[in-house]
Amino acid sequence: MKYQVDEKGFYGDFGGAYIPEMLYPNVEELRQNYIQISESESFQKEFKSLLSDYVGRPTPLYFAERLSKKYNTKIYLKREDLCHTGAHKVNNTIGQILMAQRLGKNRIIAETGAGQHGVATATVCALMGIECIIYMGTLDIQRQAPNVARMKMLGAKVRAAESGSKTLKDATNEAIRDWINNPVDTHYIIGSVVGPHPYPDMVARFQSVISAETQAQLLKKENRDYPDHIIACVGGGSNAAGLYYHFLENPRVNIIAVEAAGKGIDSGKSAATSALGKEGIIHGSKTLLMQTPDGQITEPYSISAGLDYPGVGPMHAHLFRSQRAEFISIPDKEAMDWGLTLSQMEGIIPAIETAHAFAVLDVRKFSREEVIVFNCSGRGDKDLETYIDHFKL
Amino acid sequence: MNRIDETFQKKKKLLSIYFSAGHPELEDTFPILCALQDSGVDMVEIGLPFSDPLADGPTIQKSSTRALLNGMTTEKLFDQLQNIRDSIHIPLVLMGYFNPIMQFGIKRFCEKCLSIGIDGLIIPDLPVDIYHQKYKPLFDQYNLYNMFLITPQTPEERIRYIDSLSSGFIYMVSSASVTGVQNTFGNTQEDYFKRIAQMKLNTPQVVGFGISNAETYRAATRFSSGAIIGSAFIQFIEKKGVSAIPDFIKSIR
């Protein structure tokens, strides 16, 4: 268990719960109960049944024949883009809404950047008939109008975060403030493997269904239950944590994490946290984050709204520092080109976040016998406007 | 003896003021401290601004952002405070989030505090557990007091634990809220203040959050050893200017 969380909530040097005392009762209640609840038979039964009948799991592990031929290796896509709501995000929100119900909470809050996690949260709240408030930066509300409309249709209230840079990190701050102000009846559904312990571990566990299915599917297709390489994009890191989870302790599996280089690592407009970040505290977690020398958190940039988080989950910070994972960063342009390539070679229009992962095929060599699994974490519907602008479609 | 302890020995009820260093103007730190001391304030919390102050309401978020835009940094604040003990004799506490302190270097931060004559620290996102496990010896070495928060939701056992590790005072958050939420203190708060007073803790308690005028100051200090005003003070100097500080303090007590 070298790469999983320890009993104090740390991944190596990273993680923990650096929270103001006002949040202690909420976070402590969750910490004391999350494993027992999520491993209980009744929880597992309901979780699995919703994942299968509502989300549409298991998602296929698809052998990408044309891509494999072109790159002379064996490429599989874990099709999280086929999940209900269009991305892996819903695996976590299903888990957390069931957790909230069992903790007796009747009000849900969440943060969202591009709106994917907001939509996934609003969806499960509608499913369960629970009040839902989504915090979203004012700038993101302007940039992501269709997702704002989706959340509203699903019955959620969307509240604008006006503070700071008016984007994801500020929406997260606002959600945390709401939780401080409503400590008894509210559960905060964090959307990624970030935040204070136990969130990174809890979210990773809910997303771990991705690697559990991959193991079983590979066994059928390749006669072994592990690949040689697993590749996923990393913003906060939840889809990556899900794909890596059951392979973390298997040294035969090479882990590749793909960050957004934006306009280039040294351009001042980037979200490559492993290259640009320093150890610090963000949203209650000790991890790598982008900041000024004075310790003020800076605003990252990527063309993909799901990758522009100034930090990275503590599990990933540990994978980076311990060199368990290879970190590669991909600029906007290459990611956009791969959005087109995947569309035209496999008939799959990926989210721009997801497209970053595939660009690894151009920067790193793989051999013919090697088996690679990409997390095809989300579909590109939400990004059509960006694709239209970029390719003048 | 630490100035905080000394002050509690001399006075029954402290009035303490919080402000964001570098707000309204970058060089206001010294004039604000002088005006507060001259107006009879017993202790001051100097806020180190942070880009993401997640325990703070809109007023302190705004003053922090403004301070950062004005060019305030940890380094700059220490420069401003270098010779502060030539003129300011009341206890001074630095209050700031943990990340900027980590980046400055915790040891170096403590050295600076010691050399300047800072009496204690309030770091709201350094919880008592992690402080206990990882950082206590370091802060002790520099004789810096660490003040921790309790809220109406803090379980009794944890309050005892916090009391056992506290020096200076315990920062009693008046209600479940971020800073700057306007309160009139009703029965719920009074019960909470009484409940804590009856615990007979070793460390004196000072109430903060939601104190904005003479009435809330009186209610907060009826069962405690003092009260801290932050957001209301910041709003006042924003509107009336630093020169009007004596009027604000007179309106409280």
* Residues of chain A contacting B57 with CB distance shorter than 8 Å: 177
For residue A196, the SS3 value is coil
E-strand ranges in chain A read: 10-11, 14-15, 61-63, 74-78, 107-112, 131-137, 157-161, 186-188, 229-233, 254-262, 278-282, 285-289, 325-331, 371-375
* pLDDT tens digits, B183-232: 688 888 999 999 999 999 999 999 999 999 999 999 999 999 999 999 99
What pLDDT score does B55 carry?
Answer: 93
CA distance A27 to chain B (A): 12
**Side-chain half-sphere CA neighbours of A18 within 13 A:** 25
* Partner residues linked to A374 by β-bridges: A77, A231
Give me the mean pLDDT over the A176-192 stretch.
96
Does the pLDDT at position A264 exceed 90? Answer: yes
* Partner residues linked to A74 by β-bridges: A371
Residue of A nearest to B156 (CA): A25
B56 is catalytic: yes
What pLDDT score does B184 carry?
Answer: 80
CA distance A175 to chain B (A): 9
Global pTM value? 0.97
A111 is catalytic: yes
For residue A372, the SS3 value is strand
Amino acid sitting at position A198: P
CB within 8 Å: B154 and A181: no
Give me the mean pLDDT over the A188-202 stretch.
98
> What percent of chain B clears pLDDT 90, i.e. is strictly above it?
92
Q: Give every strand in the sheet of B149-150, ordered side by side.
A: B145-147, B120-122, B92-95, B43-47, B14-20, B226-229, B205-208, B170-173, B149-150
Q: What is the CATH number of domain B14-252?
A: 3.20.20.70
pLDDT category at B5 given cuts 50, 70, 90 is: very high
What pLDDT score does B180 carry?
Answer: 85
Tell me how far CA of residue A296 lies from CA of A77, B64, B67, B135, B147, in angstroms.
Answer: 38, 11, 12, 22, 23
* Partner residues linked to B147 by β-bridges: B122
* pLDDT tens digits, A137-153: 998 898 888 999 999 99
Give me the mean pLDDT over the B88-93 stretch.
98
CB within 8 Å: A177 and B54: yes
* pLDDT tens digits, A274-284: 999 999 999 99
**Predicted ipTM of the assembly:** 0.95
Count of H-run helices and E-run strands, chain A: 17, 14
* pLDDT tens digits, A48-63: 999 999 999 999 999 9
What pLDDT score does B172 carry?
Answer: 97
* Residues of chain B contacting A280 with CB distance shorter than 8 Å: 99, 102-103
Residues 6+ apart with CB under 8 A from B129: none
Render A221-266 in DSSP notation, one character per residue.
Answer: HHSSS--SEEEEE-SS-HHHHHHHGGGTT-TTSEEEEEEEEET-GG
Does the pLDDT at position B160 exceed 90? Answer: yes
What pLDDT score does B226 carry?
Answer: 98
Amino acid sitting at position B165: L
* pLDDT tens digits, B44-74: 999 999 999 999 999 999 999 999 999 999 9
pLDDT category at A114 given cuts 50, 70, 90 is: confident
> How big, in percent rounded to 5, are the helix, strand and coil portions of chain A?
50, 20, 35
- Chain B contact for A290, CB < 8 A? no
Give me the mean pLDDT over the B165-183 stretch.
89
What pLDDT score does A50 carry?
Answer: 98
Domain range list for chain B: 14-252
What pLDDT score does B30 carry?
Answer: 98
From the number of C-beta atoms within 10 Å of its C-beta (0-12, 13-18, 19+), residue B27 rates as exposed
pLDDT category at A1 given cuts 50, 70, 90 is: low
- Chain B contact for A17, CB < 8 A? yes
